[in-house]
Amino acid sequence: PSLLTFNEVTTLFHEFGHALHGMLANTNYSSLSGTSVSWDFVELPSQILENWCYEKEALELFAKHYKTGEVLPMKYIEKIKESASFHEGMQTLRQLSFGLLDMKWHGTNPEEIETIKAFENSAFTHTKLYPDVPENCMSTAFSHIFQGGYAAGYYSYKWAEVLDADAFEYFLEKGIFNKEVATKFKEHILSMGGTEKPMELYKRFRGKEPKPDALLRRAGLI
């Protein structure tokens, strides 16, 4: 049998989210369908699906022993849920640091930069917890923001988490398999592609603008 690790399962759900975004698109032009949306909105359909991998109701449907059919024991499900917030404080600071560095690179006159190291240190002023390591230089390895398609857009990773956490909290409130909420997500998010402004679509689905509180709760930070 082809057995999957937990990381492979979450990746499968993630990519299936992208697939649904394309398959359920109801637009007149292919250039506006599926993932052809604003760059900081494209990961919402994929990242929100990963949430089901951490829920008991969902895991009981497929996380079973391949020979006996025994459902994954609750103690392991709890460990999976706990692992989702492991070191999340440091991970959050790391991603915020990268986003700030990216925006600083693309909002500064190059002639004003004396040394890359000093430039980085100024970008990390609000997120640095530990003393600086002189040998470290993030920018020289930060391919995302120079030729990786995320120039002045690396923040979209964390913003997508804000969106998916807030959206999934709606499912948690109503039930993770609630048909009404799922239909609203399909009609206002998945089927609309890039035909309207992302925030308008999101508010139509959720009834309000997203707040970071849901993400902070999921991360165990509040």
Residues 6+ apart with CB under 8 A from 214: 162, 165, 166, 168, 169
Known catalytic residues are 15
Q: Residue written as tokens 């679509």?
A: 201
